[in-house]
Each structure stands twice: as C-alpha cells, then as structure tokens.
Chains A and B, each alone.
Chain A
C-alpha cells in the first residue's frame, strides 16, 4: 500500500516536473529562432585592444540610459533587435562603437500595453546632439549627431552599416511609419547618423 502511494506521488511530481520542463522548452522554442547568429565583430586588432564591448548607451537629451545587448543577424538577413523595451542592441558583426567604420545600435519604438520603449523619442535628436557609449571598462566614447534620415524598411542599408572614410561612426535605428499587419513591420526606419568626436 505504501509503495502504491509512493508511486502515485512520484507520478504527480513527475507530471508537474514534466509540465514545467515542457513549458520551458516551449518558451525557448517560441523565441525568435533567428536570434543572434554568432560572429566576431570585424575590427582592427590594434583598435580592438583599445575599444571594448559597449555596455551602456546614454543620450541625455532624450533621457536614455540603456543597457546594450549584443545581436547579430536574423535568419531573414536583417539585424536582430533587443529582447525588451528598455535595452538597446548593438550589431556585433560590425565595428564596436568607437572603432573605425559604422557601428549600429537598434532599439524599440513602442511596446505592448503602452509600456514606453527606449527609442520612443529618438526622433527628437538633431544635428549636433551628443550621445555617449560606455564600454566594459568604463571608458566613455562621445558621438555627435550628423544627420537624421528616414529609410524604407527594405531600403538598401549599405550606408548604415558601412563607411569608407576611415572614421568612427555610430548609427541608431528604430521603427517609424505605418504598421503593416501582414508583414508585422512598420513601413520606415528612422536612422540617426553620428560621428565620433566632440561637438565643435
């Protein structure tokens, strides 16, 4: 009799454990399977010694002080996005902020249930505004807004992800425009182009 009860309890525990395990599996399976494909940032080895991974983005003008996630490409060939509304995401297949080339950071605009997102006010940035990136050692790199432009969602982004002037840039991206329910995407992307340096 005792062994029978023990067996039933074991079955109950096993069932609950199975439910929890299944939930966890389902949770991870339903995450974006195309999240960051791993890769090394292309970088100058000498620069890499000096420029470290970004950990925070600060934009005083629009009260942003956000943690930086690292993302790569989705399976669709687009840059991945941060998991939540509060963080921003750095494209880790490109240069680190401060390295020569165009580093890219994306953030959400709008979130569910009216929760504010990090780049809700990105559109307020103007030429000359400053922003700061802190790296893992606490070093701060300053960037100055050069230009704000609107892109179509499928427009060629070569200029956003690449540059050939031998200088360091940081470009910020978020969504704008009209929601396309079928595509589950907004029609435009707001790009803030910035240059490393201090406002002159």
Chain B
C-alpha cells in the first residue's frame, strides 16, 4: 500500500508554468532563464539622458505606459506618460537609482549567452523567420533588415545576445505567437541599439522585449519614429532617444491551477480573468489552459473559474486575495493559484454522527519533501532522479494507506523508512521514495502524498511538493517547502475558536531565494517570526523560516498556504493544506412512529397510581368521619 498510489485517490493533474518557462523548445536552442529585473521592473525607460523628437499631429506624441527615470529630461513637447500629456518643460528630473538591478540582470543573461548551450548564429547575424524559446547569440552585430518580420513562437524565455550593435530596419517587426510574451524577451546588445522607424503608427506592437544596454559597449538606445514597443528600454548611464513612439511596460498575471483528488484534470476547468465582468487578457481570453500567463495592463481584475461542485476551490498566492481579486501595477509579475480539492474537509465518521462521534477525532497531517538530482541539465536532455520524503507532521496518530505519486514521473517506488514494518507511517518515521525519468525540456512537476488517520474516521491528509528541473541552462532553479500546523488538531465545540497556524518554510535546494513570501487563503497577515539567521533577507539553503497567523474559525475549514521564493529567474512554489474542525450539532429528531401515537404512558401510569391513592385516602377519611 505504501509503495505507490494504486489506491490513491489523489492525482495532481496540473501544474503550472509560473514563469512561462515550459513550452516548445527549439531543437538547437537552449532554454533561457529570465533574470530578475528587480527595481527596474516597473520602468519603461531608464536613461541618463532622455531625448525625444516630435514633429506634429494630435495624439502622435510619444506615449509611455510605465515608469520613466532620467537625469536630463527631453526638450521636445509633448509626451504622454500613463495617459497624462505633458510638456518636457514640466517634466521634473527623476534620477535613476536602479543601476544595480540592470547590472544583475545583465550578469544573468550574459552568463547564459556565454554558455555553450546558447545557440551561436555566427558573426554579424541577420535575424529573420521564426524563433522558438531559447538563447541565440551573434559574436558581431545583430540586424533585422528593412520590412522584415521576425516571429517569436511559443511560451518561454528568449535571449538575443550580440557582441556588437543591434539594428532593425525601417518598417521591420518583431511579433509574438502561440503564447510568447514580451516580458520574456531579452535583447542584450554589446553595442548601441537602434530600432528603425515605421512609416505610420501601429496600434499593435512592432517590437517586443526588454532591451538592456551594456554598461561599456553601448552608447544607448535609439528608437525611430512611430515604433510601438511592448517592453522596456533600460540604459542606465546612457541615452535613450524616442520619436513619437509608443512604449508599454509589460505587466503580467500567471494563473496556476492545482487540482488535488477527483478525476477532473486541470484542463477540465474553465478559467477566467475578468475586468468589469468581461474576459480579458492574452494570449487566450478566459481560456481553460492551466498555467496560462496573461499579459495585462495595470488595473483590477478577478480570477475565477466555472463552478465544479465536485471540488472545493480556494485562491492563494501573493498576486490575488482569497476571492481571486487581483490588483496589478505596471510592471507587476503576479501569481495567483487556484487550488481545487476533492478531498472532504470533514471525513464521515465510521459510525454515529453529530457531536457524539467527534469524540476522539484528531486531524492527521502529512508532509512531503521532493528534491530532484540534478536540478539542472545544462548539456541538454538527461536522466533525473526525484527523491521524496514523506513524514507524519501531526505526530498524534499513525497514518495508514500512505501513497506518493508524481504527475511527471512514474513509478514512484518506496525505498525505506517503515522502521517497525507495520505498514503505518508512525510519528518520527521518514519514508523515502524515489522515481527516475528522462527530461528533454525544462519541467515542473508536482508530487503528492496522501495518508489516512488510523482511526474510525479514516480522515484524509494531503501534501504536495513542486520542483523544477532546468534543461539546457546552467543556473539551477530554487526549491521551497512549506509545512503548516494548526494549534488545534482536535475539533472545536460548536461555535469554533481561535487557532494559530505555524508555517515552517525551508529551502531544500542549492540557491538562496529572495522575495520569499507566505500567504494563506483563510488567514492574514502571515508574519515571519524567526529564521533569517544571517539577516541577509535571503532564504538560504538549510535555513528554516517560521511564520505564524492567528484567526477565528467558526466552522470546519481547510485552508491552503502558499510559499513563494525567487532565484535565477524562477519562482519556486510550495503549498500546504491544513484542516481545523468545528463540531456541528447533530440533526434534530423531528419524527414520531408512523401511525402511532405518543401517549405518555409513564405519566398516565404515575398519575393513575396517585389518583388511586388519593381516592383511597378520601374514602378512608369519609368512613372515619361517618
């Protein structure tokens, strides 16, 4: 039973591609890893000197959506920034302070481009045709010729590195298809970048991606007239020149679906991202596709899905609240997870019901840890072994029928850990499992452990562990694990009470994570109370960070906590489930025997006896009187 999930009712049927790193892979190209743009993410333009040209025409001024920073403002009017048209004279100096973020991003990208896995296109390359996600480099210049269209096809990261200048011809285009996103395209020219003018304005982007100027070889970024860019022009310390252009900072929302139990795959749910009640977003409005990344404008949105009565649905993650509400600021890269679980919050009692049956009930808790070896396959496809550890987090009772499954690897084989050989996951036991598979592309998979309480209630407990293995790139992705324990494992009486959740977050990987955050769909705020031993604000390998959250629970509740952490362009995700029970009253007994009556014979009998005694007393007294 403990070996593999023959009887497991849990299948994780989908997971997500939180940064869009899963997608079609070019036969020759390595898969790139998105760098963190850090504090530069909200900016459309970062420059020392911002020069702007304007000839004439209503509504033909340069239009920026996103932040701008510069030391010397443009001299030519007008410019529209986030919908507000202004004259350069009124533009105050907004000095850039984000050179560190640009440098860090360049270090990441140049490291990938320097690797042998980055496809070398030659010297002084001319781009044309279609490219799939990957890293492409030229040792000299990189050009797109006059009126040529370059297509980026598929969801994933694109890196274009040139040793010299990046130049595009007049009326040329770079366009996206099949889920490719502008925020995942990176241009890192060793020299100056020059984008050719268009003959007229375009309502859709004519160039996509983030151009990041080299600190030494570049003199800046020059954009010709009427170019529509969805991306960023990052030239810290250099000059950015615009001319009646449209520049929009990419803003995105990743919608992740995690389905636990049941028979409906993630693709069987219809997901929506709506604004004002109307489906919005790209690449597919309201699509059912799990793990969809939506390129959106800043604003308020609501993530939802069509109801499925077989599942309980919760929203979790740093990007949305417990109702799926999302507030996106320009440049945000938010993540919202929809968790569907088919496992009942309250397992039916083996016998009895109501309050009576709650006696002795203790909520079980299982945990799972997954570590892939290796975390990265820089040379391309290869073998990966996933090592799993399942343990009894609750520790109050043994767990039976324990099973571990993985949505991307099979079979998952039990290795060791049942010290007393009783087939039960006892407190203090750690059961080891293993699974080996061959990966040909970067893969994120989810392992699930399920167990049941060793009592008459047979209560289910579930835990998941998610890991990404990179194929074709050097930098390993981060790993995060979260365990959640409520302060009360026995049922509250009817009415409920206060409960404190304790979250234990660990880094089982090899790289430190930044921007670590823990959220809970039914408790907030979640506060960190300890763990950052060296105070570097990074969740280092081996560190254990502890968080807590207190709330009042009035009815039996299962909540989902999510942990996120970022490193090497990846977002590591972990989820933890916990149940708190509140006893409900038993159902009332409102019936009488069919066709019967409810004459209270006990009362009738007693009253009858008393009446006889009374009458006898009266008779006796009368006789005596007579």
By a beta-carbon cutoff of 8 Å, the part of chain A in contact with chain B is 5, 8, 11-12, 15-16, 19, 22-23, 26-27, 30, 42, 73, 76-82, 89, 91, 93, 101, 106-114, 119, 151-158, 160-164, 173-175, 179, 181, 184-186, 189
Q: In the bound complex, what is the Cα–Cα distance between A158 and B312 (angstroms)?
A: 15
User: In the complex, are the beta carbons of B588 and A173 less than 8 A apart?
Assistant: yes
At the interface, yes or no: B624 with Cβ under 8 Å from chain A?
yes
Q: Which of the residues A5, A161, A175 comes within 8 Å of B589, measured between beta carbons?
A: A175
Q: Which segment, of B62-70, B279-287, B606-614, faces chain A?
A: B606-614
Q: Give every chain A residue within 8 A of B585 (Cβ-Cβ).
A: 73, 77-79, 91, 93, 157, 161
A-B interface pairs (CB < 8 A), number: 155
* Also in contact, A26 and B617, with CB within 8 A (given A76-B354, A156-B584, A160-B584): no
Q: Which segment, of B225-233, B523-531, B595-603, faces chain A?
A: B595-603
At the interface, yes or no: B56 with Cβ under 8 Å from chain A?
no
Q: Give every chain A residue within 8 A of B591 (Cβ-Cβ).
A: 108-110, 174-175, 179, 185-186
Q: Give every chain A residue within 8 A of B533 (Cβ-Cβ).
A: none
User: In the complex, are the beta carbons of B594 and A110 less than 8 A apart?
Assistant: yes
User: In the complex, are the beta carbons of B584 and A23 less than 8 A apart?
Assistant: no
At the interface, yes or no: B355 with Cβ under 8 Å from chain A?
yes
**List of 6 A-B pairs having minimum Cβ-Cβ separation, nearest first:** A154-B353, A77-B355, A162-B555, A78-B586, A175-B591, A112-B597
At the interface, yes or no: B27 with Cβ under 8 Å from chain A?
no
Most buried by A among B494, B554, B607: B494
- The secondary-structure label for the interface of chain A is mixed
Chain B 335-360 interface residues, beta-carbon cutoff 8 Å to A:
345-346, 348-349, 351-357
User: In the complex, are the beta carbons of B588 and A16 less than 8 A apart?
Assistant: no
In this complex, what residue of A is CB-closest to B611? A19
- The secondary-structure label for the interface of chain B is loop
Interchain residue pairs with CB less than 8 A apart (28): A11-B617, A15-B618, A23-B606, A26-B603, A76-B355, A78-B355, A81-B589, A81-B590, A93-B585, A101-B554, A108-B591, A109-B591, A110-B592, A110-B594, A153-B353, A154-B586, A154-B587, A157-B353, A157-B585, A158-B346, A160-B587, A162-B554, A162-B555, A162-B584, A163-B555, A173-B588, A179-B594, A186-B589
User: In the complex, are the beta carbons of B621 and A12 less than 8 A apart?
Assistant: yes
Report A66 CB to chain B, min CB distance, Å: 13
Q: In the bound complex, what is the Cα–Cα distance between A77 and B493 (angstroms)?
A: 10
Q: In the bound complex, what is the Cα–Cα distance between A81 and B585 (angstroms)?
A: 13
Extra contacts, 16 of them, besides A19-B610, A157-B587, A158-B345 (Cβ < 8 A), are A5-B625, A26-B606, A26-B607, A42-B495, A73-B355, A78-B587, A79-B588, A93-B495, A108-B592, A160-B584, A161-B585, A162-B556, A173-B588, A175-B590, A185-B591, A186-B591
Q: Give every chain A residue within 8 A of B598 (Cβ-Cβ).
A: 111-112
Q: Which of the residues A109, A114, A160 comes within 8 Å of B590, measured between beta carbons?
A: A109
In this complex, what residue of B is CB-closest to A119? B590
Chain B residues bordering chain A, tally (CB within 8 A): 49
In this complex, what residue of B is CB-closest to A42? B495
User: In the complex, are the beta carbons of A158 and B354 less than 8 A apart?
Assistant: no
User: In the complex, are the beta carbons of B621 and A107 less than 8 A apart?
Assistant: no
User: In the complex, are the beta carbons of B494 and A12 less than 8 A apart?
Assistant: no
Q: In the bound complex, what is the Cα–Cα distance between A175 and B585 (angstroms)?
A: 16
At the interface, yes or no: B203 with Cβ under 8 Å from chain A?
no
Q: Give every chain B residue within 8 A of A186 (Cβ-Cβ).
A: 589, 591
User: In the complex, are the beta carbons of B588 and A78 less than 8 A apart?
Assistant: yes
Most buried by A among B587, B600, B602, B603: B587
At the interface, yes or no: B421 with Cβ under 8 Å from chain A?
no
At the interface, yes or no: B582 with Cβ under 8 Å from chain A?
yes
Q: In the bound complex, what is the Cα–Cα distance between A107 and B594 (angstroms)?
A: 16
Q: Give every chain A residue within 8 A of B624 (Cβ-Cβ).
A: 8
User: In the complex, are the beta carbons of A155 and B588 less than 8 A apart?
Assistant: no
At the interface, yes or no: B557 with Cβ under 8 Å from chain A?
yes
At the interface, yes or no: B129 with Cβ under 8 Å from chain A?
no
User: In the complex, are the beta carbons of B607 and A79 less than 8 A apart?
Assistant: no
Most buried by B among A42, A151, A158, A161: A158
In this complex, what residue of B is CB-closest to A166? B323
Q: Give every chain A residue within 8 A of B618 (Cβ-Cβ).
A: 12, 15
Report A153 CB to chain B, min CB distance, Å: 6
Q: In the bound complex, what is the Cα–Cα distance between A127 and B595 (angstroms)?
A: 30
In this complex, what residue of B is CB-closest to A106? B588
Q: In the bound complex, what is the Cα–Cα distance between A113 and B587 (angstroms)?
A: 25
Report A35 CB to chain B, min CB distance, Å: 12
In this complex, what residue of B is CB-closest to A77? B355
Q: In the bound complex, what is the Cα–Cα distance between A175 and B588 (angstroms)?
A: 8
Q: Give every chain A residue within 8 A of B495 (Cβ-Cβ).
A: 42, 93
Q: Give every chain B residue within 8 A of A114 (Cβ-Cβ).
A: 595
User: In the complex, are the beta carbons of B621 and A154 less than 8 A apart?
Assistant: no
User: In the complex, are the beta carbons of A76 and B586 less than 8 A apart?
Assistant: yes
Q: Give every chain B residue within 8 A of A82 (Cβ-Cβ).
A: 590
Q: Which of the residues A22, A30, A112, A156 comes within 8 Å of B346, measured between beta carbons?
A: A156
Report B550 CB to chain A, min CB distance, Å: 18
At the interface, yes or no: B593 with Cβ under 8 Å from chain A?
yes
Q: Give every chain B residue within 8 A of A154 (Cβ-Cβ).
A: 349, 351-354, 357, 586-587
